[in-house]
Structure 1
């Protein structure tokens, strides 16, 4: 009887298997799989974005550590020569004998104190920060190519964190200013892959509705890293070398404990032809989201092996080259203002730790306000408005400069500067999100790296303007304000990308954008 039942059931099983085999394959793009089956943003993607975005803290720390390590500390007259010292105080320390004064925090409190980068050596103090940003500029190009071609987003983040940890530790061992400058350059080169890859790796895992918010989420952790600097720097204020040693441990721990749990971008895997791996990543996200992918699902490969799509360059299409050039020009001004205003806090006549803390706190409303506004407004309008506000605030700081110079600081000037920095931070964050949405997967990381290069180029020049601001704060504020307003004007020539899909190749994006713009052109002709 059992054998008869088994025989009766067997044909049904075979028919089911045949039916499954005969079922048509469901071939979708990664964008369609995320929107229709995985979910635009679920628990799996939230965990992924959180783990990826943690690395932004190290990006902030390595970038802004020079606020403390390269600062000019306070000095005081020595007891034996206090009378002669006070009589020559109008000339500053440069008019005194070296034994007539001393650094308040000791000679190890900063590189300026240890290597006496004052008076005729004053402008040497800005060289390490400039070389750091030049290293970031060159490193952005290298990491962008690696992330788009050979290594992918995840492995590039790992490489950047490991090299950043090593170079930070070596910086603490610098015997002189020139070795220190070289190591700051290498550290800038090493860490440049963190920001560009983390942003792309996070946004490529979510649907179009949440791209703006996810892009801003990473900058929240950049703010956390910024806020952590005064906490790390204050206990180590008597030794700038100790700051670098502490900062070298954090990315090393992240590389060992966190990166193994991060997934590679399914979009990048699909572009590389590794569609089976892309499905595994999407299956993992779907499972954590409480969903299940169809059994007959396959990912369409957006890159044909028999054409030149794989060799597409950002410069091979006029529209793409035009967009990146405009973004780079805007990025230069934004980088100049964003990093320059942070480094310029020493020209506000306030306690350095207090002003850095205030600026770091202003990053928090910038992130949250930017996330909310990106849900309702276009990227182009938000970036321009933020740039205008930042520029106007920098110029307004000049009005309070004289009052600040007469007293120990003007809270009105600090307040205006803080608002300007918040607006500059919003413009900085939004420009990154805008860049991600303007270009397809096969050149996206390279495009972000090109933007990063010009941001770093502006940042590389900013320390010298800050040094000039020690002589005349008004000059630095005018330059910051003018460049910020100029950057806001540049986006007039860029398209809006809010709620637009992410494309995989330049060819695909060009076809789709022409197709979507055709009905609009026809409507204009009819009108």
Structure 2
């Protein structure tokens, strides 16, 4: 009996990463929990960087006359258009926001949307850059590190902006820099756990995103008289995280290491996970090399994984659907956050309400991802978000800048919660739709679509100061359309994470390039 056991141990056993995780490491042990939490902390800075303009670029609520030519006493909510320069001033200090400091009102009001729009355009470009870097030679961890460091630098430089044009340019640079945080943290987290826990783990990052969102009004209120100080404070945090948390304690993705031909390093990461979990990987275990991965290299006769993706009909179809779906949700999700200024409630209060609604959205998404199909959960959330947004029109009071009623605030908060759920689930869905060697690229493409939608939303928010009902209507319709488009995507719940396009094609029974479109639709819908 002992001889048979020794003979079995002496044999080399090749297993996939999923098999090693499930059989010897643990699908989701203490080591992976720490890894996921440390990686997800970076989402706080992603959130702060994105939503800081709700306060720094807010229009002051009141102004007062300082000259008889103006017409008299302080005015709240009235228009300053037509008044001579120097005859009025904002009730607060001019340094309280960029609009007050640089006079972005009346005929210059659309300039107020420029910094946020170019920020999201920068995020679009950054998503493409970091998506390639993370799937290529840099890997997941280095991409997060570079993104955090550049985010810290660009946020600090933004606080020194002398005018709206330099400010917009630096916001664009900040958008490029922060793009790597969201996509790389998500992929790095989900690739460390077994298939059963992918959905829940993917939501942890959004909890920290919500934490960052909730921290913004807390930091903004003490700095309400100087928008520059708000930028300086939040610029310091990603630098500290990079030096004291990310570099020493976070591990690279074993799946990425394997695809890059570094199987021993991948196995070392898994052994470290197993050791912390109180388990052990037998010495005869080796990782099964994914077929046709080329170790990330390209020769004369072989396409790179990303090039191969664009020649694979089922993958192109999925990519197109996920991007169109992402565009509508990005437009809705970021637009409704920025649109809080068009509700006649205290800005700090409404932002805090929305930030708070992110937290139940994360818990609801985490629970339902473990029990519900991805496609059904996403489409239902998108439909509900659109419906609540349209209900906001019913309770709108145009004469009071589209807000002021508690029912409208309730509908807006519930709509945002549903939108946040759909937004979070979409990332998990996209991770599971594509294999390891193009996964980060696919998520980055979906994120580009999200950011393209987000970059347009500030323009509608500015127009919403004149017609709030229209902005709510457009946001609602875009969410409903995204929910409809998602119905053509395949279900991925409990499916394995494949390593290459060829492996996924073989395991799912997909045809790489030669099937008819009708058959492809039938396979994807099954």
Please report the TM-score for the alignment, with normalisation by the length of structure 1: 0.92
C-alpha displacement of 1:107? 0.7
Q: Deviations over 1:471-495 (max 9, x none)?
A: 0001100100100000000011111
Contact 1:144/1:196, CA 8 A, preserved across alignment:
yes
Q: Deviations over 1:198-223 (max 9, x none)?
A: 00000000001100000011100000
491-500 vs 92-101, which moves further: 92-101
Contact 1:60/1:226, CA 8 A, preserved across alignment:
yes
Q: 1:132 to 1:407 in 2, by over 3 A?
A: closer
Q: 1:514 to 1:89 in 2, by over 3 A?
A: closer
Question: What residue is the counterpart of 1:280 in the other structure?
Answer: 268
Q: 1:351 aligns with which of 312, 327, 346?
A: 346
**1:390 and 2:385 equivalent?**
yes
| Structure 1 portions without partners, runs of 5+ | 1-14
C-alpha displacement of 1:372? 0.7
CA distance in 1, matches of 2:344, 2:204: 33
Show the 5 A alignment for 1:345-494: 345-402=340-397, 405=400, 409-494=404-489
Contact 1:303/1:309, CA 8 A, preserved across alignment:
no
CA distance in 1, matches of 2:89, 2:61: 9
| Structure 2 portions without partners, runs of 5+ | 512-518
CA distance in 2, matches of 1:40, 1:248: 36
Q: Deviations over 1:309-355 (max 9, x none)?
A: 75453212110110010000000000000000000001111110000
Show the 5 A alignment for 1:226-245: 226-245=213-232
Q: 1:409 to 1:81 in 2, by over 3 A?
A: farther
C-alpha displacement of 1:31? 1.3
C-alpha displacement of 1:197? 0.2
Question: What residue is the counterpart of 1:308 in the other structure?
Answer: 302
Q: 1:249 aligns with which of 236, 247, 264?
A: 236
Q: 2:197 aligns with which of 203, 206, 210?
A: 210
Query: Residue 407 of structure 2 aligns to a residue in which SS?
Result: helix
Show the 5 A alignment for 1:258-297: 258-260=245-247, 261-297=249-285
Contact 2:127/2:180, CA 8 A, preserved across alignment:
yes
Query: Residue 237 of structure 1 aligns to a residue in which SS?
Result: coil
Q: 1:196 aligns with which of 164, 171, 183?
A: 183
Query: Residue 401 of structure 1 aligns to a residue in which SS?
Result: coil
Contact 1:57/1:221, CA 8 A, preserved across alignment:
yes
**1:38 and 2:25 equivalent?**
yes
CA distance in 2, matches of 1:511, 1:482: 38
Q: 1:381 to 1:89 in 2, by over 3 A?
A: closer
Question: What residue is the counterpart of 2:164 in the other structure?
Answer: 177
Q: Deviations over 1:410-447 (max 9, x none)?
A: 11100000000000000000000000000000000000
Contact 1:338/1:424, CA 8 A, preserved across alignment:
yes
Contact 1:55/1:198, CA 8 A, preserved across alignment:
yes
Q: 1:417 to 1:404 in 2, by over 3 A?
A: farther
CA distance in 2, matches of 1:403, 1:309: 57
Contact 1:88/1:95, CA 8 A, preserved across alignment:
no
Contact 1:340/1:462, CA 8 A, preserved across alignment:
yes
Q: Deviations over 1:357-390 (max 9, x none)?
A: 0000000100001111111110000100000010
Contact 2:61/2:77, CA 8 A, preserved across alignment:
no
CA distance in 2, matches of 1:146, 1:83: 57
Structure with more helix by fraction:
1
Contact 1:74/1:105, CA 8 A, preserved across alignment:
no
Contact 1:146/1:152, CA 8 A, preserved across alignment:
yes
Q: 1:335 to 1:85 in 2, by over 3 A?
A: farther
**1:134 and 2:128 equivalent?**
no
Question: What residue is the counterpart of 1:5 in the other structure?
Answer: none
Query: Residue 471 of structure 1 aligns to a residue in which SS?
Result: coil
Contact 1:85/1:96, CA 8 A, preserved across alignment:
no
Q: Deviations over 1:6-43 (max 9, x none)?
A: xxxxxxxxx99x95798210111111111111111000
Larger radius of gyration: 1
Query: Residue 292 of structure 1 aligns to a residue in which SS?
Result: coil
CA distance in 1, matches of 2:243, 2:453: 33
